[in-house]
Structure 1
Amino acid sequence: TLVAALRDTAVPAAGAIRAAEEAGAAIAPLWWGFANPAGPVSAEAFERLASRLMAELQAAQDAGPLDGLYLDLHGAMVAEHFPDAEGELLRRARAILGPDVPIAASLDPHCNLTAAMVRHADVLSPFRTYPHVDMKEAGARAMALLLARAARGKPFAKAFRQLDYLIPITSQCTLVAPMAEVMAARQAIAAKMGAAELSLCFGFPYADFADCGCALVAYGVTQEAADAAAEALLRELKLREQDFAQAVLPAAEAVATAMRLADGQGPVVIADTQDNPGGGGHGDTTGLLAELIAQRAEGVAFGLINDAESAARCHAAGEGARVTLALGGKSDGVALHVDARVLRLSDGRFTCTGPMAGGNVAELGPSALIGIGGVAVVVTSRKMQAYDQALFRHLGVEPSQQRILALKSSVHFRADFQPIARAVLVAAAPGPVVADPATLPFRHLRPGLRLRPGDNRRTG
């Protein structure tokens, strides 16, 4: 069943299930799914999935009635015909349940929080970490708030606010300044002002619609308390604006710096942020890899290149064989033509062990570890953000023993790799998940929004 399948995973719904069971609530499961970020969802796909979810919700309500609804949402989905796709899902759920049945949802903090989402849900509770190591806790919190709202018998007061500048993905990490300080302030404000929940969503700055960007919602016993908490957190974000303007290194400089810093006292980590599969990249650009090879870097483990064709050629050749590959470049960028040795093969199935996804099973299809000079490259048949050391270990590579680790990730890698890192560098090699969203050709953002911190230019 859905409950049994999710209970031992690291997803938000697992925390919600646990909290509901501990409270003695009966669960009427609907369904759950996951997809890696990419482009807008087609209207056909959205309607097929939304119709199935709403049909199951209607059936559960008819069999019930239901006392409340919990949804495990992301919050940054854009559909071709509904830019605020989760807002539309919540609107449809509200239409089925009516105005009095509580609705709660957990969210990824990369949610582009909208007024429609706030209006149709009783409470929205995002993760508080990036890397996302508290997904189960967020699900449990959303369920606890749902139960509290049901027991209360009336809605919380709500106060919704939007920030007037975009925060780049690379500046959103809660492990380091300035977001670490913002999240500490969020906690203090919520406690001081008695907010039932003070939800901060950092935004996903690659969505071209009016509500793209950072936003927050405060829930309180009174409207005055909710407004005060929301305004206090908004002020904190505005005060730290300049601190969010953080630079990244060009790929050539990042590699040269990593080679200089690598001293065998722990790996230097290079984040290939502009091909982050968690941000919509396909994990198959080769710019950073080409730079590592060109500068003759040694003791490097590179994770990963998503290229089913090259993985299949490696499996056909066998371990120990030499192969000539047009590596990567199947979705983005250009292929890198290499002569490599097949070091290890696998079926791409392993269980994650890190703090973000521990217990989740990865299914990356036929995979290989290949050697190109001093660089060992993980080649897979499906994409995955490099946020777990098991990606390397299942192919016989111990991450902590490498001089340099090059990872397709923007921030999530820090949960499992920062503790072993000698240093962390963020590199801008060519890729679709641009480090500076201001370079994108937006057309539909709301007036007055600034595309980068510290930039006084506003959308018209």
Structure 2
Amino acid sequence: MKFVVALIRHETNTFSPVPTELSDFRRGTTTHGPAYGEAARQACEGTNSAAAAYLDLARGMGAEVDFAVCANAVPSGLVTRAAFESLCDTVVHSARQGCDAILLDLHGAMVVEGYPDAEGELLRRLRANTPAGLPIGVALDFHANFSRELIRHATVVAGYCTYPHVDVYETGARVGRSIRALLEQRSAPVLLWRRLPMLTHMLRQTPAMQPMKDIMERAMQAERDGEVLNASVFGGFPLSDIPCAGLSVVVVAERERLDAGEKLLDELCAQAWSRRADFVFPATPVAESIAYAKTLEQGPVILVDHGDNCGAGGTTDIMAVLQEVLAQGLEDVVAGPFCDPATVALLFEHGVGAEVTVDVGGKTDMPALNLTGQPLRLTGVVERLTDGNYTVTGPMYTGMRLSLGRTAVLRVGTVRIFISERPQEPYDTGVFTHAGVDPAQSKYVLLKSRQHFRAGFEPFARHIVLVSGPGVCSSDYSLFPFKHLPHPMYPLDADASLADSESWCTASVA
């Protein structure tokens, strides 16, 4: 028996001005781009990834593995057509050599020049180049956006049930169990899917809290009880201006119990739609949020600048929130990482112990939102210089090897500012501890994140303050020039209704 395995992950913010090249798909690898074959296996083995679960499945079934590619990029702007074609060609080539199943670890919100649903196009090509009925299992991020193309060509689909995403391996295992049952002729899966006309706010999506909490719990319980084979609720990625954005529900049902799957799909969709107003996040002015944080006596206080989060495509070089922190005189602060390769180069030239004046950040304009880069002039001491390498020890993507690129710590009074060559959302304390700084010992920790910070930082936080800084990850949808979303779409259109949903069942093309 032989499996083709591939990991391709990118969450595309179509409002980001930063294009995504093939070389950017290097996260978690030791290469200068995607890893292939044995290098791909080594990058994923033993990590909290769906691909690692696939490797364990193959081992348990005595199956050979052709690990086509491991390509994981930090969220950013449109993926170039050349990068996408290269990745697709690699996976399709492996599939053409023959296999018993294809197991994919994808994101689900990748947008390519010419392909608004890149994962759907990948699945279409795989179907066109493999025997009819070949099982294709797909693990997807909680923020996946769905078109019919993806659903109609997949055999089994499952998504993360957590945000922060700490169940990535488990998601791959869920896909693997269903694929194994199919291969052993114990199951005949059918996919049911519905996308609701809801553009939810990411700060209100997490299954750890309402309004999503008991919706996701119902889906997970239905899967555990054997009511259906798999059940997944996807919050969707709202910062992709594409026709298939929105909240989706996917159910994998046994063909002989299709009615149970349809009933669950209706129930989950109705529950989500009834709470649509609760999925909207109200923003607070930055100065007001920082002033509130200053009143909190006990730390650590986690300040979450969610408008410029590279985990959703932000540039992480907008300095507005740090500027307000300094203006209001907060002390004992650890902040970052801010991505600014040019400033890092200057600080490395000066060396540890040097007193410098530098213009940090503000190197990137964001024309989609009419934002102009505004550097922040800082005078401080170069406290530490590192290679930026660390291994994730927290619960999200545990074991993954990450790099910030060269990283400098600039101390301005009692504020330590981390400046790096590469963007990285701080979901693991390694972004700071690799440089000998323990954020748990600081009064304030300023992060550019949205929810993933909770994986590594919430356990020791006394307070969490969400700060609505500017950027292409803003929760204020009125700032975004959406052109390709379907309408009506809530909350942009108050007259949207459940009847505006789109649905698909693979039984119709069996």
Q: Which amino acid aligns with 2:88?
A: A
**Identical pairs, percent:** 35
Contact 1:12 1:140 (8 Å CA) reproduced:
yes
Q: TM-score, normalising length from structure 1?
A: 0.94
For residue 448 of structure 1, report the CA deviation from its aligned partner: 2.2
Name the structure 2 match of 1:90. Answer: 123
After alignment, is 223-232 or 271-280 more displaced?
A: 223-232
Matches within 5 A, 1:99-138: 99-138=132-171
Give the ranges of 4+ consecutive aligned residues of structure 1 lying more than 3 Å apart after TM superposition.
188-193, 457-460
- Structure 1: 5+ residue stretches without partners: none
Matched, 1:157 2:190: yes
Name the structure 2 match of 1:316. Answer: 349
Matched, 1:188 2:228: no
Q: TM-score, normalising length from structure 2?
A: 0.85
Match of residue 431, structure 1, among 457, 468, 471: 471
Match of residue 385, structure 1, among 411, 425, 431: 425
Match of residue 262, structure 2, among 220, 227, 230: 227
Structure 1 Cα separation of the partners of residues 225 and 488 of structure 2: 31
Match of residue 77, structure 1, among 82, 91, 110: 110
Contact 1:54 1:92 (8 Å CA) reproduced:
yes
1:387-442 CA-partner distances (Å, limit 9, x unpaired): 11111111121111111111110110011111111111111111111113343111
Name the structure 2 match of 1:12. Answer: 50
Contact 1:167 1:213 (8 Å CA) reproduced:
yes
Contact 2:136 2:155 (8 Å CA) reproduced:
yes
Q: Which amino acid aligns with 1:144?
A: R
Match of residue 397, structure 1, among 427, 432, 437: 437
Match of residue 372, structure 1, among 412, 421, 428: 412
Cα root mean square deviation, aligned: 1.8
Structure 1 Cα separation of the partners of residues 128 and 357 of structure 2: 57
Alpha-carbon spacing, 1:450–1:50, altered in 2? closer, same or farther (3 Å): same
Alpha-carbon spacing, 1:191–1:361, altered in 2? closer, same or farther (3 Å): closer
Q: Which amino acid aligns with 1:444?
A: H
Aligned partner of residue 457 in structure 2, secondary structure: helix
Alpha-carbon spacing, 1:440–1:210, altered in 2? closer, same or farther (3 Å): same
Q: Which amino acid aligns with 1:22?
A: G
Structure 2 Cα separation of the partners of residues 136 and 240 of structure 1: 30
Name the structure 1 match of 2:281. Answer: 246
Match of residue 170, structure 1, among 203, 225, 228: 203
- Structure 2: 5+ residue stretches without partners: 1-37, 366-372, 501-510
Structure 1 Cα separation of the partners of residues 413 and 469 of structure 2: 20
Contact 2:43 2:70 (8 Å CA) reproduced:
no
Contact 1:40 1:79 (8 Å CA) reproduced:
yes
Q: Which amino acid aligns with 2:291?
A: A
For residue 193 of structure 1, report the CA deviation from its aligned partner: 7.1
Structure 1 Cα separation of the partners of residues 284 and 185 of structure 2: 51
Structure 1 Cα separation of the partners of residues 223 and 392 of structure 2: 34
Structure 2 Cα separation of the partners of residues 82 and 191 of structure 1: 35
For residue 191 of structure 1, report the CA deviation from its aligned partner: 4.9
Contact 1:248 1:435 (8 Å CA) reproduced:
yes
Residue correspondences, number: 451
Contact 2:142 2:234 (8 Å CA) reproduced:
yes
Name the structure 2 match of 1:53. Answer: 91
For residue 289 of structure 1, report the CA deviation from its aligned partner: 0.6
Structure 1 Cα separation of the partners of residues 376 and 358 of structure 2: 8
Contact 2:174 2:230 (8 Å CA) reproduced:
no
Q: Which amino acid aligns with 1:58?
A: R
Structure 1 Cα separation of the partners of residues 432 and 321 of structure 2: 18
Aligned partner of residue 159 in structure 1, secondary structure: strand
Structure 1 Cα separation of the partners of residues 285 and 58 of structure 2: 48
Alpha-carbon spacing, 1:136–1:308, altered in 2? closer, same or farther (3 Å): same
For residue 52 of structure 1, report the CA deviation from its aligned partner: 2.4
Name the structure 2 match of 1:43. Answer: 81
Match of residue 23, structure 1, among 51, 61, 79: 61
Aligned partner of residue 177 in structure 2, secondary structure: helix
Contact 1:163 1:215 (8 Å CA) reproduced:
yes
Q: Which amino acid aligns with 2:149?
A: A
